[in-house]
């Protein structure tokens, strides 16, 4: 089956890691027509807006996008491109699997958990104002609708992916109304999934537990801000941002992207690590029903890490982005010709 997918190369290292990812995805033999669109700084330079309507429309039409990181131009008047995109497409669930790779030095090589972050509200609603000079108010929005929807997503994800437990992370002991509502919604939804264990942790304790005994967690569900911070913490447990993939899922579409940003400090040097985006592309292949291609790519990626000969600089190796991609491509080609 042929798929049409919106492709957003992004800024900084974006075009380099997107090219590497497209190369290894295509090596699997999956039939994809890429519809290239722009966003972010590049879009602002070319068409005067960071979030062009044509890009949003392309994702609405195709329902799936693979996206490189964006740079939000610094300065007043520029809202975050990613927050804007998530709002425009109502991409309410941000799913971030945390799993270590073979041969990567990290604190928890066996770790395997999934973060489900609410993506549309909380302090990221961006509702801030000056009350009087020197006093600023920022509004935290938590709704029953969004809290129920994300809890449901987390339990469905757990059920569909053979996971055993979902933990809600909150600060309901202090924010009794807002985080209290989030927690109530979580336990209401939990009743519909008796086969999945449900528990909760206060955010500060949760951070300590993640560093000390992360194996106790399976799926974590969090409000937007906690989810943002805790997912970077978890990326640190398995070797850093270069290995952390993400999916933004909504009713109108799904956008797959790495957790990291555009890394302007190494852009254009051909040394960026495309692993996080390749892992995001594996999630994308599963989402569009291409399980065979997803598994082929996953096996090849793991095999390249297990060989340890083509590791990028951020993980202590010397391989360039394209050498790493070529090694994965060669594994896939070898597997496909052995099977033919």
Handedness of CA 299, 301, 304, 306 (dihedral sign): negative
- Token readout for 258 is 């790495």
Backbone φ and ψ for 13, nearest 5 degrees, come out as -75, -5
Catalytic amino acids? 124, 171, 204, 228
* Residue closer to ligand NAI (CB basis): 200 or 314: 314
Query: Which residues of the chain form contacts with ligand NAI (CB under 6 A)?
Result: 13, 17, 69-72, 82, 241-242, 257, 260-266, 272-273, 276, 314
Minimum distance, C-beta of residue 11 to ligand NAI, in the bound complex (Å) = 7
* Residue closer to ligand NAI (CB basis): 111 or 276: 276
* SS3 per-residue string spanning 150-206: HHHHHHHHHHHCCCCEEEEEECCCCCCCHHHHHHHHHHHHHCCCCCCEEEEEEHHHH
Minimum distance, C-beta of residue 91 to ligand NAI, in the bound complex (Å) = 12
Q: Is 282 exposed, middle or buried (0-12, 13-18, 19+ CB in 10 A)?
A: buried
CB-closest chain residue to ligand NAI = 261
Q: Find the distance separating the first CA and the last CA of the chain, reported in whole Å.
A: 20
* Strands (E) located in the chain: 3-8, 32-36, 64-67, 93-99, 112-118, 128-132, 135-138, 165-170, 197-202, 219-222, 245-249, 254-258
Minimum distance, C-beta of residue 266 to ligand NAI, in the bound complex (Å) = 5
* Residue closer to ligand NAI (CB basis): 189 or 328: 328
Residue with tokens 């809290």: 147
* Residue closer to ligand NAI (CB basis): 70 or 103: 70
* Residue closer to ligand NAI (CB basis): 109 or 261: 261
Minimum distance, C-beta of residue 175 to ligand NAI, in the bound complex (Å) = 26
Minimum distance, C-beta of residue 40 to ligand NAI, in the bound complex (Å) = 7
Q: What angle do CA 298, 24, 233 make, to 5 degrees?
A: 55
């Amino acid at each position: 089956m042929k798929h049409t997918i919106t492709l957003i190369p992004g800024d900084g290292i974006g075009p380099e890691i997107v090219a590497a990812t497209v190369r290894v995805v295509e090596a699997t033999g999956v039939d994809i027509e890429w519809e290239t669109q722009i966003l972010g700084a590049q879009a602002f330079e070319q068409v005067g807006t960071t979030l062009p309507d044509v890009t949003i429309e392309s994702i609405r039409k195709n329902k799936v996008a693979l996206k490189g990181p964006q740079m939000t131009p610094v300065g007043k008047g520029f809202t975050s491109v990613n927050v804007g995109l998530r709002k425009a497409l109502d991409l309410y669930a941000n799913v971030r699997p945390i799993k270590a790779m073979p041969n990567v030095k990290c604190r928890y090589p066996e770790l395997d958990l999934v973060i489900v972050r609410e993506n549309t509200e909380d302090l990221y609603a961006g509702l801030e104002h000056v009350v009087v000079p020197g006093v600023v108010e920022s509004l935290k929005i938590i709704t029953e609708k969004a809290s129920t929807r994300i809890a449901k997503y987390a339990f469905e994800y757990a059920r569909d992916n053979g996971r055993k437990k979902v933990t809600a992370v909150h600060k309901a002991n202090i924010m009794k109304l807002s985080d209290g509502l989030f927690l109530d919604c979580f336990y209401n939804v939990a009743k519909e999934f008796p086969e999945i264990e449900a528990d909760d942790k206060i955010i500060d304790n949760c951070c300590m537990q993640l560093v000390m005994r992360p194996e106790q967690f399976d799926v974590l569900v969090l409000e937007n801000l906690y989810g943002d911070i805790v997912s970077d913490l978890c990326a640190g447990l398995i070797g850093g941002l270069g290995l952390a993939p993400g999916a933004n899922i909504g009713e109108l579409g799904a956008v797959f992207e790495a957790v990291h940003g555009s890394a302007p400090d190494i852009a254009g040097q051909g040394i960026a690590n495309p692993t996080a985006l390749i892992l995001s592309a594996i999630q994308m292949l599963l989402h569009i029903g291409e399980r065979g291609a997803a598994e082929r790519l996953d096996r090849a990626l793991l095999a390249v890490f297990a060989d340890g000969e083509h590791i990028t600089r951020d993980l202590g190796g010397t391989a360039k982005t394209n050498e790493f991609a070529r090694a994965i491509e060669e594994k896939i080609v070898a597997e496909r010709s052995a099977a033919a």
